[in-house]
Amino acid sequence: MQEKKSNIGLVWFRNDLRVNDNTVLNKAAKYHKHIIAVYCFDPRHFQVNNFGFKKTEKFRAKFLIETVNDLKQNLNNLNIELFVYNKKPEHAIPRLVEQFNIKSIYLQKEWTSEEVEVLVALKQNNPENISFHEYYNQFLFHPEDIDMDFQKIPQVFTNFRKKVEKYSTIRTTDYSITPEAIKTISNTTKIPTLRSLGFEDFNTHPNSAFPFKGGENSALNRLDDYFFQTKKLGFYKKTRNGLIGKNYSSKFSSWLANGSISPRTIYWSIKQFEREHYKNQSTYWLIFELIWRDYFKYVSLKYGNNIFKISGILKKDYPWKTDEILINKWIEGETKSAFVNANILELKHTGWMSNRGRQNVASFFSKNMLLDWRIGAAYFESLLIDFDVHSNYGNWMYVSGVGNDPRNRKFNVDLQAKRYDANNKFQNLWLQPTLF
């Protein structure tokens, strides 16, 4: 006989797949004696989108499976059972609500259209007396602390950064409360395999700059290694434009993207490093990058679905092309730029690309080839392990001249190659004819 009590809270995990510094989880634990949790591998995330790409390809799918396995174990250590479904949330969650007599559902607040539509559908499929408790759980600077209306978010990043650095504070991290275990509970749900999601299993490419596994434990291990074991953090500003290897940048973006580490955890660890070792431009620069991440989230809150429209947030009308032959040349690494080709092949075979590579590849697609930037953004969305909707579309708009860059610059990919790959080491790594 399963225990059915109204004091069981349900945590619906979305892109906040961690137990440390998780506001959603802690709010549920604060108000309920017992907690159960749910995660749904939404089939819509593995379907082909309007531009002909799978919304989630094998690289991020594998990383996500590893993350959810990690989450299940970490929740189990907190007396919380995680139910996992390969179903739409609006179909899977109502059954749990009924089975456990749930009155309150806790979740991370999302605002982009697809996530909002799923929540609306879920509410329609549940009794009206169910309370939904949504919390912003993905920011460095919490929306309540920036003292800015979303509609007044500055058009230029520097103005946003200066204001939040001067007038806002960063909340301390929130550590998990352990609820009481439910004495008798049956959970027959299973975490899907790559094969059950429609993919063949694969090994990480030996040349990958991102050879890491998904999950909170992996994220915290990476943080410890990059900060305190190797002290690579102290050289971040000098190495961040690198192209080869796992240590030219922090690589936190993949764990941040699905929420298996919080930006505040990273921030306060930087502060610990500064106390214990030293403070320099590099330690600041990682915080600077976290503020960029926040900024694109605030841009998305301000402009809503305009970030997905061809005219972007600037409502600029350019003569974009949708030439399939040109698009395929870009995808297959057959453009006239060897530097662009090397970067796009790295993405195709690993699910990863450096920040420097992304800017050049995206600029070449939109400014040199004059192709509809949304197609490039959709391709990145499909393949990137660290896909984050706000950063991805924010950056693509930025380099395509329809976003937050008032200068509308165009990258000179040949000069960039000479500056960042002067000896052709990166290009040779990915353009070898016998590599694949």
Tell me, yes or no, whether 41 and 128 share the same domain.
yes
Does residue 435 sit within a domain? Answer: no
Say if pTM beats, i.e. exceeds, 0.75: yes
Tell me, yes or no, whether 275 and 389 share the same domain.
no
- For residue 280, the domain's CATH number is 1.25.40.80
* Tens-binned pLDDT, residue by residue, of the chain (436 aa): 344 434 899 999 999 999 999 999 999 999 999 999 999 999 999 999 999 999 999 999 999 999 999 999 999 999 999 999 999 999 999 999 999 999 999 999 999 999 999 999 999 999 999 999 999 999 999 999 999 999 999 999 999 999 999 999 999 998 778 999 998 899 999 999 999 999 999 999 999 999 999 999 999 999 999 999 999 999 999 999 999 999 999 999 999 999 999 999 999 999 999 999 999 999 999 999 999 999 999 999 999 999 999 999 999 999 999 999 999 999 999 999 999 999 999 999 999 999 999 999 999 999 999 999 999 999 999 999 999 999 999 999 999 999 998 777 899 999 999 999 999 999 999 998 766 5
The sheet with strand 131-135 has its strands ordered as 81-85, 34-40, 8-12, 104-108, 131-135
Which residues constitute the domain of residue 396? 309-430
**pLDDT at residue 434, as a whole number:** 62
- For residue 369, the domain's CATH number is 1.10.579.10
d(CA 260, CA 17): 5
Could you tell me the end-to-end alpha-carbon distance of the chain, in angstroms, rounded to an integer? Answer: 55
Does residue 378 sit within a domain? Answer: yes
Tell me, yes or no, whether 253 and 230 share the same domain.
yes
**pLDDT at residue 436, as a whole number:** 55
- Partners of 135 in the beta sheet? 108
Does residue 198 sit within a domain? Answer: no
Tell me, yes or no, whether 300 and 335 share the same domain.
no
**pLDDT at residue 122, as a whole number:** 98
Tell me, yes or no, whether 365 and 411 share the same domain.
yes
Determine the residue type at 405: D
The values of phi and psi at residue 74, to 5°, are -65, -35
Tell me, yes or no, whether 378 and 389 share the same domain.
yes
> Where is the domain boundary, 80, 114, 137?
137
Tell me, yes or no, whether 232 and 331 share the same domain.
no
Tell me, yes or no, whether 145 and 284 share the same domain.
yes
d(CA 23, CA 176): 9
Tell me, yes or no, whether 279 and 340 share the same domain.
no
Q: Of 72, 70, 31, 24, which Cα lies nearest the Cα of 179?
A: 31
How many domains does the chain contain in total? 3
Judge whether 355 and 293 are in contact, CB under 8 Å.
no
DSSP SS3 for 10: strand
Tell me, yes or no, whether 288 and 366 share the same domain.
no
In sequence order, what DSSP letters do the residues of 83-111 get, joined into one string?
EEESS-HHHHHHHHHHHTT--EEEEE---
**pLDDT at residue 134, as a whole number:** 98
d(CA 61, CA 57): 6
DSSP state at residue 167: H
DSSP SS3 for 274: helix
d(CA 385, CA 212): 10
